[in-house]
Structure 1
Amino acid sequence: MLLPLVRTAFQGELLAWLYLHPEDEYPLVVLAQQFRVSPASVTREVDRLSAAGLIKVRRVGNLRLVSADEETIIARPLTELLALTYGPIVVLPELLSGVPGVEEAYIYGSWAARYEGEPGRVPRDVDVLVVGEPGEDDLYLVARRAEQQLGREVNLRRMSRGTWESTDEDPFLESLRSRPLVGLEIEGTGVA
């Protein structure tokens, strides 16, 4: 629902990953691990996208390396569309992984709802809950960098582990837990 032009969420995430990392090539097995899908699923999607001229595939021995095709006429607008739609799931984990004190992070609100398939307009902003004790200045810098890369407002809200695990009646937490949450895989935490 984030970008109805793509067939599946996996296709959108794969394209976003490749187009937002245009200088890199990825083996199929690494992409399967990255997206937690079967190698066969990656192979099928890579074959489709390659046939459509959206990605490049290069062979090195038995290894197939995949990258965005920056030479296609739609590369620039496609990159912008992917950053606006699937970009948060690519950009935010990378930025938050370098911040001390981040234990978990979740996208919530309208972006998470669209990602989970709820119909509606493309969200104007991205709301992110960060669990842990990161510094306010660090989170501010992450939000500004994310906004630059994603082309939209990014709102980061910090919450301590104790508050996050609390069973007290908190209207914000109750609302948050009753709606879609998209876990972000923060390097070093083992949480997704």
Structure 2
Amino acid sequence: MKVSPSLLPILRSRMQGELLALVLLHPEREYSITELAADVGVTPTAVLREVDRLADGGILTDRRVGRSRLVKARTDTPLYRPLSELMSVSFGPVPVLTDALAGLEGVERAYIYGSWAARYNGEPGPPPADVDVLVVGDPDADALFDLAEEASRRLRREVNVHRVSVEAWEARTDDPFLTGVRERPLVQLNLDLEAQ
């Protein structure tokens, strides 16, 4: 049984929200169907069906290059701005924070936790007022503060970043904060740290 996502119940699925957020929040970029499937974590066939619907509805545009189909947000329609803003405040934390943290030196892993992660994982409740992020590693504190400020602006809600060392995260001690974070839903950000 498909359940509509708690972050934005007007959508059919979480995959639809993830796909829309990824493409609409990166309007300058073209994605192949294979890239979208890998980023969203579903089969290319599932992405293809969704892309067909969204292209037919004028939300996405596509073109063929050889055997590849490249997909991009249509920014020339009245739907683009309000829909991209809606995706930013609902499903935006994953692509926005992934982009921001992937390039930050000292970040080993990052997770979204708290009410946003709970809604993302299907727990019902009111829309999250903020986004809580746990950064594992030793990035510069000032850089993390600046990153949180920029992400807050883009997501139109407060972004709270908490930094812990790799040792503290892996120790599984009785730290009440880390115990609480581990016991609740987590959304791990897929950071490409090989480039660092």
TM-score past 0.5 threshold? yes
1:55 corresponds, among 49, 54, 60, to 60
1:129 corresponds, among 102, 110, 134, to 134
What secondary structure, in the 3-state scheme, does the structure 2 residue paired with 1:137 have?
Answer: helix
Separation of aligned partners in 2, 1:8 and 1:78:
16
Asked if residue 175 in structure 1 is aligned to residue 180 in structure 2, the reply is: yes
One-letter code of the match for 1:126? V
- The residue correspondences of 1:137-152 to structure 2 (distance < 5 A) are 137-152=142-157
How far off is 1:189 after superposition?
5.8
How far off is 1:71 after superposition?
2.2
Asked if residue 45 in structure 1 is aligned to residue 50 in structure 2, the reply is: yes
Do the aligned residues in 2 keep the contact of 1:103 with 1:189 (CA within 8 Å)? no
How far off is 1:63 after superposition?
2.1
One-letter code of the match for 2:11? V
Gaps of 5+ in 1: none
Do the aligned residues in 2 keep the contact of 1:26 with 1:67 (CA within 8 Å)? yes
One-letter code of the match for 1:141? D
Superposed CA deviations along residues 76-111 of structure 1, whole A, max 9, x for unmatched, are 111111000110000101101111110000000000
- The residue correspondences of 1:79-118 to structure 2 (distance < 5 A) are 79-118=84-123
Partner in structure 1 of residue 165 of structure 2: 160
2:190 corresponds, among 168, 185, 190, to 185
Separation of aligned partners in 1, 2:97 and 2:185:
17
How far off is 1:44 after superposition?
0.9
One-letter code of the match for 1:102? V
What secondary structure, in the 3-state scheme, does the structure 1 residue paired with 2:139 have?
Answer: coil
Question: Deviation above 3 Å: which 4+ runs of structure 1?
Answer: none
Asked if residue 23 in structure 1 is aligned to residue 28 in structure 2, the reply is: yes
Q: Which shows bigger deviation, 87-96 or 166-175?
A: 166-175
Do the aligned residues in 2 keep the contact of 1:104 with 1:189 (CA within 8 Å)? no
Separation of aligned partners in 2, 1:185 and 1:61:
29
Separation of aligned partners in 2, 1:36 and 1:167:
28
CA RMSD of aligned residues (A): 1.4
What secondary structure, in the 3-state scheme, does the structure 1 residue paired with 2:50 have?
Answer: helix
One-letter code of the match for 2:188? G
Separation of aligned partners in 2, 1:135 and 1:178:
27
Asked if residue 4 in structure 1 is aligned to residue 9 in structure 2, the reply is: yes
How far off is 1:177 after superposition?
1.1
> What TM-score do you get using the length of structure 2 for normalisation?
0.92
Do the aligned residues in 2 keep the contact of 1:107 with 1:184 (CA within 8 Å)? yes
What secondary structure, in the 3-state scheme, does the structure 2 residue paired with 1:4 have?
Answer: coil
How far off is 1:125 after superposition?
0.7
> What TM-score do you get using the length of structure 1 for normalisation?
0.94
Q: Which shows bigger deviation, 44-53 or 107-116?
A: 44-53
